[in-house]
């Protein structure tokens, strides 16, 4: 199997590329050049590594979830603890890298989109640390669902702009951020929060997250003496998933399984499972799987998890799916919330609701693979931000 990990134009097979207004080409070229230079620049790499060691808290640890595993057919369950990173999720890996690049490019203002608020908080954090101005676009609907994170961003000194167009969720926040970028591109860097968007974003964001897989591959080998049977992660735009998958792509015996948000169920049409329930198209500057109608208009996605509520997905996932190197399944809201509760009660870890989709997948896949299997799961974030949603869901009065 030959696997294409992004050509010079950012293509993964028929996916990826650039579908953007000409006004953005210069900025994308500049970013691509800065990223390519940084990849081989020992000073940049040392700076980023030092930040990860002293600020992010890397390497993140592996926790074996023995009591949770009893519910997963007895398979061995290893959790890669990205929830323990500063700001509470994997998102910090990407924003520190992009913030350093922003400084290298001499720009002083960053803009970001956010759904759950995790990427917005991470962006606001990086901006504060590096003295950059930060504006975060967030769907009005999400500002309600994730009020705590809105307050966190404001405390960190960022401006939060509620987006009132379209479905008022992540997709519309990206539209608004792109409009800002087209207008202010000379002074502003768009700190995109996932492995979607026009080239070089899918490749660059993946490069900043691939440390998750590199660390955990070593950690699992050290712990078990062998590679895991399967690596699992939730998939919204796909950044935490590609981050943990990437180092394992050449290990063809390791199954890579992405769990998408099934919402009320794919058959209801109310879901965010782009690969499982969508079709090839172009959204937000890249060719990938998209939830769209017969005219190519984007269909609004639905998920209990704001961070997975997106009608597109990173082009590398679309490609890994088509060539059969990775599998994608949908997990409904209820199954995700049951797994959320189970991890809380068996391991003393409150996961993000996004992450709970991967945990729900593990309960099923563990049973399929049996007690001799080892499953590595990306615990992409912690659930503090989701306490309100979970309390509502489980009927806990606040």
Positions annotated as catalytic residues are: 91, 113, 380
CA distance 271 to 24: 31
Contact residues for 189 (Cβ-Cβ < 8 A; gap 6+): 31, 98, 101, 102, 105, 107, 109, 110, 111
CB of 23 to ligand PLP, least distance (A): 26
**Is the omega angle on the peptide bond into residue 200 within 30 degrees of 0, that is, cis?**
yes
Contact residues for 299 (Cβ-Cβ < 8 A; gap 6+): 269, 291, 292, 293, 311
Contact status, residue 357 vs residue 118, Cβ threshold 8 Å: no
Binding track, positions 297-336, relative to another protein; x by CB under 8 A: xx--------------------------------------
237 binds another protein, rule: CB under 8 A: no
Selected binder of another protein within 292, 332, 378, 380 (CB under 8 A): 292
239 binds ligand PLP, rule: CB under 6 A: yes
Which of another protein, ligand PLP, none lies near 136, with the C-beta cut-off 5 to 8 A by kind? none
CB of 104 to another protein, least distance (A): 19
33 binds another protein, rule: CB under 8 A: no
- Closest CA relative to residue 274, chosen from 324, 234, 323: 234
CA distance 37 to 207: 13
CA distance 70 to 27: 51
Question: Phi-psi bin for 274: left (phi > 0), alpha (psi -120 to 50), beta?
Answer: alpha
CA distance 108 to 127: 9
Alpha-helix runs per DSSP H in the chain: 25-39, 42-51, 66-69, 91-104, 118-130, 140-145, 147-155, 170-184, 201-209, 211-224, 239-245, 274-277, 315-322, 333-347, 353-369, 387-394
CB of 267 to ligand PLP, least distance (A): 23
- Closest CA relative to residue 275, chosen from 317, 304, 335, 325: 317
Whichever of 46 and 147 has its CB closer to ligand PLP, that residue is: 147
167 binds ligand PLP, rule: CB under 6 A: no
60 binds ligand PLP, rule: CB under 6 A: no
Binding track, positions 103-132, relative to ligand PLP; x by CB under 6 A: ------------xx-xx-------------
Which of another protein, ligand PLP, none lies near 352, with the C-beta cut-off 5 to 8 A by kind? ligand PLP
Which of another protein, ligand PLP, none lies near 25, with the C-beta cut-off 5 to 8 A by kind? another protein
354 binds ligand PLP, rule: CB under 6 A: yes
Q: Give residue for tokens 């597109």.
A: 312
- Give residues 168-207 in contact with another protein (rule: CB under 8 A): 171, 175, 178-179, 182-186
Whichever of 44 and 289 has its CB closer to ligand PLP, that residue is: 289
283 binds another protein, rule: CB under 8 A: yes
Selected binder of another protein within 6, 15, 20, 382 (CB under 8 A): 20
Q: Applying CB under 6 A, which residues contact ligand PLP? A: 89, 115-116, 118-119, 194, 234-241, 307-308, 352, 354-355, 380-381
């Amino acid at each position: 199997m030959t696997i294409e990990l992004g050509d010079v134009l950012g293509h993964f097979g028929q996916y990826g590329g650039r579908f953007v207004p000409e006004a953005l080409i210069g900025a994308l070229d500049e970013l691509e050049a800065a990223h390519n230079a940084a990849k081989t620049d020992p000073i940049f790499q040392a700076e980023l590594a030092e930040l990860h060691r002293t600020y992010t808290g890397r390497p993140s640890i592996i926790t074996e979830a023995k009591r949770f595993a009893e519910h997963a057919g007895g398979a061995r369950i290893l959790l890669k603890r990205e929830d323990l990173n500063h700001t509470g999720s994997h998102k910090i890996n990407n924003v520190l890298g992009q913030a350093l690049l922003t400084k290298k490019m001499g720009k002083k203002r960053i803009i970001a989109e956010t759904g759950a608020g995790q990427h917005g908080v991470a962006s606001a954090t990086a901006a504060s640390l590096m003295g950059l101005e930060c504006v975060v676009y967030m769907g009005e609907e999400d500002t309600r669902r994730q009020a705590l994170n809105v307050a966190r961003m404001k405390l960190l000194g960022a401006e939060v702009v509620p987006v009132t167009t379209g479905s008022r969720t992540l997709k519309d926040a990206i539209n608004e951020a792109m409009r800002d970028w087209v207008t202010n591109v000379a002074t502003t860097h768009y700190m995109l929060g996932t492995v979607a968007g026009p080239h070089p974003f899918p490749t660059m964001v993946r490069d900043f997250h691939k440390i998750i897989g590199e660390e955990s591959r070593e950690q699992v080998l050290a712990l078990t003496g062998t590679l895991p049977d399967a690596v699992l992660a939730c998939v919204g735009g796909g950044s935490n998933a590609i981050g943990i998958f990437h180092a394992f792509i050449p290990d063809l015996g390791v199954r890579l399984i992405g769990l998408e948000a099934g919402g009320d169920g794919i058959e209801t049409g109310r879901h965010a499972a782009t690969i499982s329930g969508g079709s090839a198209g172009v959204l937000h500057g890249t060719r990938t799987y998209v939830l769209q109608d017969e005219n190519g208009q984007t269909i609004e996605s639905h998920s209990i998890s704001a961070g997975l509520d997106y009608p597109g997905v990173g082009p590398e996932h679309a490609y890994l799916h088509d060539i059969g190197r990775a599998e994608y399944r949908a997990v409904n809201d209820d199954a995700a919330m049951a797994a959320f509760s189970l991890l809380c009660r068996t391991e003393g870890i409150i996961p993000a609701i996004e992450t709970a989709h991967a945990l729900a997948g593990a309960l099923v896949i563990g049973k399929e693979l049996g007690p001799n299997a080892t499953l590595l799961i990306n615990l992409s974030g912690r659930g503090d931000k989701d306490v309100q949603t979970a309390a509502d869901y489980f009927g806990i009065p606040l």
